[in-house]
Amino acid sequence: MSNSIETKVTEYVKSTAAIAADFNLKNDTLLFEEGLFDSMGFMALINFLQEELSIQPNDDELVVENFESINAIVNYVSKKQAA
């Protein structure tokens, strides 16, 4: 995993998600299941990935499995950048 990508994604999630002060965010925390992101949060995340990491997702890639956790996002971004 690219540490730079992981750092950027983690910082983004921490700064924009509805995280309680006592919530223990981990890289495998399910962001949607835990209520940290909703559909508007998802769209903002996609916008962040496009602007900050130059990722242009295809429609068929916009599935929860690619964005359900920090680990999933980092893996997805790494694959897109390697392509």
Residue type, 45: L
User: What distance in Å separates the CA atoms of residue 38 and residue 6, rounded to the nearest whole number?
Assistant: 21
pLDDT, tens only, 45-60: 999 999 999 999 999 9
Sketch out the chain's domains with CATH numbers. Answer: 3-16+27-82 (1.10.1200.10)
Q: Residue 18 pLDDT more than 90?
A: no
The pLDDT of residue 2 is: 59
pLDDT band at 40 (very low <50, low <70, confident <90, very high): very high
pTM of structure = 0.90
Tell me what pLDDT residue 61 has: 96
- pLDDT above 50 (res 5): yes
